[in-house]
Amino acid sequence: MTEQIIYPSIDLFLYDLKDGLGETEAQINENCANFCRKIYHDVDETEFKQRFEQLLKYKNFDAEVIELLETRTRKFNSPLDGYYYPLQINDTYALQVDYSGKLNANSQANDNAQNLDNQPFAELKQEITQLLGQQTGTIGQTWLMWGKLTSSKTEAEIEEIAQKCYTQVVTDYNWNRDFIGKGKLGTGTIFELWYCPQNLGGEGKEFWDKFRELSHHVLIWLFPENTTADEMRKQVQSVYQDFLRLWEYRHKIVWSYYQSRYQKHSLKKEYIDVQPSIYQVRQLTELLKNNNLKLNDLQKTLADNLINLSDYTIALNYLENHHRTIILNLENYKTRLADIEQKYPGSDLEFLKKFSEGEVYAQKYQRQVKADLENLSPGLTLLQNLNSTIQGIIDIEQTKTDRTLNNTIAIAGLGLATSQIASSVLVSQFPPPPKTPFIITPPFYVSILTGVIVSIIAWILLTKIRR
C-alpha cells in the first residue's frame, strides 16, 4: 500500500561563521556578503549592495540575538510557500528557510495528501538548495522534515514511513548507521539521524568543505492523523526559536572539534620541524669547549626557532579556543534542551541527550581536545626553553667577542702610548738632522719597536690573568 503524507514541509537551519578568531576586517565583510547571497541571490547588483549594507551594519553589535531584516522574514516569490528568516547570534549567522511547496488555486497551503512514492521531500529539498545556489552552511546545517499521517499507525509503521522520508533527502543513506534515536515532541513522533562521513582525506579547510557538504543532520517529525493541520503548524512554529539555538550549539561543537583536528596536526608538524634544532642544542656544550661555535649560525638558528615558536603558540591558542568553544556550547546545548522539555511537558526528548551526554559525540570531543592540549602544551615550554638556551649561548659568545675587542683596543692603545712616549724622549735626546723626515730617522723605528714589544708583553699578561 502506498503511504501518504499531508502537508509535507521542510525547514533548513543553516549556520555561517560571522567573525572567526584572527579574521581581518576584509574577511569578516566577505563572510557577511556570502551569507547575504543566500537570502538575496536573485536580485540585481544594486539591490544586493543595499541588502548587504543593511546586514553589515550589525556586525559590531553586542546583542546576543539580532533579527537582520526589518520585516523579520523575506517571503519566497509566489506561488512558492516559504520564507527566509536570518539572525545574527553572537559570532554566528543563522538562517531558517521554511518551505511547503506551491500554494494551490485557493491561495491556501496545499493540505492535500501526497504519495511518498512521489518523493515530495526530495522535491522540497532540491528547490531549497537551488534557491540557495547550492550553498551549505560554513559551520553546519540541519534539515527538519515534518508532515501529518493520513491514518492511525503503529510505532513500527511510523518508523517505516520515517525511513522512506529519510531516503528522499540523503544520497548516501543508511538508516541503521545514521539513526541516533526517536522520541515524542508535542503530539508528534520525532526522529534524529546524522550521517557523519569518515576518511575524507585532506586537512583544514579542504577537509571541512568536504565534510559539511556530505554530512547530513536530519530531524523527521510525523504527526498523527487526529492532529489538525493548523495544530501541527502551530506546534512546529512554536519550537523554531529553540531549534535555531539548539542546532547552533550542536554545529559549533562539531565544527570546533574538526577544526581542532587540523590544529593538532599543525602542532605535531611544528614539533617535528624543530627536532633538528633540539639535536643541535645538545651538541652546543661540546662545540663551546672547542670554540667551534659561529655567532652568525647561532643567530640564524634562533631566528628560525622564534618563527617556530610563534607558529606553535598561535596553533596552540587556536586549539585552546576550540576547547573553550566546545565546553561553552555543550553547556548551552544542555540548558536549551532542558528549557524545551519544560515548555513541552509530556514530550520525550531523551534521544537528543545522546549528543551531549553520550560517549561518542560531544563528551568524546571534549575529552579528546582536552587530552590534545595536555599532550601538546609542554611543546611550548620546550620551544621557549630551547630559544632561551640558544639566546644564552649567543649572549656568552657575544660577551667573549666584546671582551676580546676591548682587550685588543686596550693593548693597541698601550702600545701606541708607549711608542709616543719613546718617540718624544728619543727626539729630545737625539734630534734628527734639519729637513729630514721623521719617518726615516732612528727614533721613529725605535719608538715603533718599543710600542710593539710593550703590546706583546701586555697581551701575554692579560692572557695569563684571564686564565
Q: Tell which residue, 19, 22, 27, has the closest CA to residue 315.
A: 22
Residue 174 predicted with pLDDT over 80: yes
**Buried-exposed string 306-324: b where 16+ CB fall within 10 A, e elsewhere:** eebbebbebbbebbebbbe
pLDDT, residue 407, reads: 56
pLDDT, residue 105, reads: 42
Q: Report helix, strand or coil for 56.
A: helix
pLDDT, residue 108, reads: 43
Domain ranges of the chain: 4-238, 260-390, 402-466
Q: Of 91-105, 343-357, 425-439, where does mean pLDDT reach its minimum?
A: 425-439
Q: Are strands 4-17 and 74-75 parallel, antiparallel or unpaired?
A: unpaired
pLDDT band, very low/low/confident/very high, at 293 (cuts 50, 70, 90): low
At 256, phi and psi to the nearest 5? -65, -40
At 205, phi and psi to the nearest 5? -65, -35
Residue 119 predicted with pLDDT over 50: yes
Q: Report helix, strand or coil for 225.
A: coil
Rounded Cα–Cα distance for residues 82 and 73 (Å) = 10
Give 22 or 137, the one with higher predicted confidence: 137
pLDDT band, very low/low/confident/very high, at 126 (cuts 50, 70, 90): very high
116 and 225 in contact (C-beta within 8 Å)? no
For residue range 298-332, list pLDDT tens digits in order: 666 666 666 677 788 888 999 999 999 999 999 99
Residue 354 predicted with pLDDT over 50: yes
pLDDT, residue 177, reads: 94
Q: Residue 182: what residue type?
A: K
For residue range 374-401, list pLDDT tens digits in order: 988 887 777 766 666 666 666 655 656 5
Rounded Cα–Cα distance for residues 319 and 50 (Å) = 37
At 378, phi and psi to the nearest 5? -60, -25
Rounded Cα–Cα distance for residues 9 and 191 (Å) = 15
Max Cα distance, the chain (Å): 137
* Mean pLDDT, all residues of the chain: 83
Average pLDDT of the residues in 121-144: 93
> 367-370: long-range contacts (C-beta < 8 A, 24 or more apart)?
368/257, 368/260, 369/256, 369/257, 369/260, 369/319, 369/322, 369/323, 369/326, 370/323
For residue range 411-439, list pLDDT tens digits in order: 555 555 555 555 555 445 556 666 555 45
Q: What percent of the chain has pLDDT over 70?
A: 72
List C-alpha distances in Å: 245 to 96, 222, 251, 413, 455.
Answer: 11, 22, 10, 80, 84
pLDDT, residue 3, reads: 86
Q: Of 29-38, 238-247, 446-455, where does mean pLDDT reach its minimum?
A: 446-455
Residue 49 predicted with pLDDT over 60: yes
Average pLDDT of the residues in 151-166: 95
Q: Of 151-155, 263-267, 308-312, 404-408, where does mean pLDDT reach its minimum?
A: 404-408
Q: Is this prediction's pTM over 0.85?
A: no
List C-alpha distances in Å: 11 to 135, 299, 330.
Answer: 15, 60, 24
Q: Are strands 216-223 and 140-149 parallel, antiparallel or unpaired?
A: parallel
